[in-house]
């Protein structure tokens, strides 16, 4: 029995080879992998010695040989195949351990040249992987270090690798080759001959999506729709697909969509914060000295909408916060971590889905960018896709312009910054009233901005909150003065919005009439 090992990522390969050798498997290898095994004292045959043909062309040709592919492709159940390889002195290769040249990591590096990209396109590796995966009934093909332990354990326990395991390994191998080819296609089709040494254009002529299924879902947005949850091949640290579910029922399609909205929103704040989302919109957001205080202030914004909502914290949930949350009906609770006392208390609410997500690295915007994977937003249209870069733009302090006679106070400016962050995660047209580091009223998803403004004031009144003295954020400019009139009549004292309307002068004049402070950002945050 032979195993051929040729890996770029050497993680775990030495232990794998040692345990295969202990079970009587003969080792074949190439280049750096062969040197690693030999230096560890393992008996290993170089592929060049095995084939009788030297590596050449700077290593471009080494495994593309009948003695390799014949050993991988020969069907063990066909006598004529076995006779053919015996006639030509080709031993069967029963194990293939290959991971590919690091193309994705190479092109993700700033300044990567076309030559560097081309030299990191693996040829022999994918060819061997495809041969082994095609002949899965006779060959175990391992393409990732995460597979080693479980397959070894099965082999050591039973003396063989089951057909079910070999088939699963084959599927994983074809998936890996598909991901690899998609990355090559995406990178090269973003270049032109004239700009082949320049940074790639933003969007390739062909865009290949490669996704990994996380789980099947009971249904989609509605019970008559089928659905599943997929993730990027390398999910960004701190993103929802990296969550660990600690308790509760299976997540639904709507749970996942709303949980992502809540988590991304709470990550926008550096200080302790709580976000409550209902139907993809924040219905309550607040800062606090501790999670309990932040939660109670967020909940008070709109207790009616918070019923059955998604709650996210950017700090560890302690017993006090868990006790407060347990007092309402909540679908999903998200935090970086939980104290033992908090988890014990939440266990009494068995249906609550409790998720733990590690915070992204300090300084990251939203969920940190995945390795070699730009953050994208996607929207499906009939027979097409709309793709865009993620909205990670931060407020540029130097670009802020006070355009009214009255400037905001320091406290108002702090609340304007807070409200602006919340508005970014609120469906357009978005209006957010805030005061003291908490939302007072939120108007979202209306066809008219003035209607969103009115709804926000109604929400505040329904919750018994005082709008007078608050500030307002609008995700886009006010096209007419009527929205400013409504928020001023409600008692707001300052407003922040992008500006850029042909009626800006009229809107600013309205703010001056009401004694409002108005700040323009020069950027908008539409969210559809």
Which residues participate in catalysis according to the annotation? 134, 279
The H-assigned helical ranges of 302-376 are 303-306, 319-325, 340-346
3 state SS of 313? strand
Distance CA 453, CA 468 (A): 14
Distance CA 65, CA 3 (A): 16
Contact 523, 421 (CB under 8 A): no
Contact 98, 125 (CB under 8 A): yes
Distance CA 30, CA 59 (A): 10
Instruction: Report strand pairing: 212-217 vs 227-231.
Output: antiparallel
What is the 3 state secondary structure string of 138-189? CCEEECCHHHHHHHHHHHHHHCCCCHHHHHHHHHHHHHHHHHHHHHHHHHHC
Could you count the other beta carbons within 10 Å of the beta carbon of residue 414? 16
Buried b (16+ CB within 10 A) or exposed e, 439-462: bbbbbbbbeebbbbbbbbbebbee
- Helices then strands, each counted (H, E), the chain: 19, 21
Backbone angles phi, psi at 306, to 5 degrees: -65, -20
Contact 305, 456 (CB under 8 A): no
Distance CA 510, CA 403 (A): 12
Contact 31, 125 (CB under 8 A): no
Which residues 6+ apart lie within 8 Å of 117 measured at CB?
A: 103, 106, 107, 187, 188
As a dihedral over the C-alpha atoms of residue 435, residue 436, residue 441, residue 444, rounded to 10 degrees, the angle is: 90
Structure-block tokens of residue 31? 């280049």
Cβ-based burial of 62 (10 A; exposed 0-12, middle 13-18, buried ≥19)? buried
């Amino acid at each position: 029995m032979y195993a051929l090992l040729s890996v770029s990522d050497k993680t775990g390969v030495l232990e794998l080879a040692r345990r295969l050798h202990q079970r009587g498997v003969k080792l074949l290898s190439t280049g750096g992998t062969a040197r690693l095994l030999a230096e560890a004292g393992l008996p290993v045959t170089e592929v060049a010695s095995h084939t009788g043909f030297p590596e050449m062309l700077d290593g471009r040709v080494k495994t593309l040989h009948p003695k390799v592919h014949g050993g991988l492709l020969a069907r063990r159940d066909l006598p004529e195949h076995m006779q053919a390889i015996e006639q030509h002195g080709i031993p069967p290769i029963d194990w293939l351990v290959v991971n590919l040249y690091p193309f994705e990591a190479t092109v993700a590096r700033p300044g990567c040249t076309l030559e560097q990209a081309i030299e990191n396109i693996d040829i022999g590796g994918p060819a061997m992987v495809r041969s082994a995966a095609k002949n899965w009934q006779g060959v175990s093909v391992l393409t990732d270090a995460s597979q080693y332990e479980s397959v070894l354990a099965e082999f050591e326990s039973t003396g063989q690798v089951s057909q079910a395991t070999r088939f699963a390994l084959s599927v994983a191998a074809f998936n890996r080759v598909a991901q690899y080819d998609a990355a090559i296609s995406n990178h090269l089709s973003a270049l032109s001959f004239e700009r082949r040494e320049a940074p790639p254009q933003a969007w390739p002529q062909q865009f290949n999506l490669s996704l990994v299924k996380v789980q099947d879902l009971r249904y989609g947005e509605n019970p008559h729709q089928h659905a599943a949850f997929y993730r990027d091949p390398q999910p960004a640290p701190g993103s929802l697909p990296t969550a660990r579910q600690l308790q509760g029922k299976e997540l639904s399609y709507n749970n996942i969509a709303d949980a992502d909205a809540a988590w991304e929103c709470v990550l926008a704040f550096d200080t302790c914060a709580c976000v409550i989302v209902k139907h993809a919109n924040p219905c309550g957001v607040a800062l606090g000295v501790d999670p309990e205080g932040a939660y109670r202030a967020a909940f008070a914004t709109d207790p009616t909408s918070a019923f059955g909502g998604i709650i996210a914290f950017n700090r560890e949930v302690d017993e006090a916060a868990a006790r407060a949350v347990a007092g309402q009906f909540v679908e999903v609770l998200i935090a970086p971590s939980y104290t033992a006392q908090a988890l014990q208390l939440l266990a009494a609410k068995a249906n609550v889905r409790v998720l733990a997500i590690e915070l992204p690295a300090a300084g990251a915007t939203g969920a940190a960018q995945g390795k070699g994977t730009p953050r994208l937003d996607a929207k499906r249209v009939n027979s097409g896709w709309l793709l865009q870069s993620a909205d990670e733009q931060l407020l540029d302090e130097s670009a802020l312009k006070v355009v009214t006679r009255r400037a905001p106070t320091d406290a108002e400016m702090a609340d304007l910054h807070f409200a602006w962050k919340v508005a970014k995660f609120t469906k357009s047209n978005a209006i957010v009233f805030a005061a003291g580091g908490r939302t007072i009223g939120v108007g979202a998803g209306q066809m008219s901005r003035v209607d969103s403004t009115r709804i926000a004031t109604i929400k505040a009144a329904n919750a018994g909150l005082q709008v007078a003295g608050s500030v307002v954020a609008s995700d886009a400019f006010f096209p007419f003065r009527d929205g400013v009139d409504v928020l001023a009549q409600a008692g707001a004292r300052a407003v922040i919005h992008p500006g850029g309307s042909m009626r800006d002068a009229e809107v600013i004049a309205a703010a001056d009439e009401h004694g409002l402070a108005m700040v323009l950002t020069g950027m908008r945050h539409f969210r559809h």
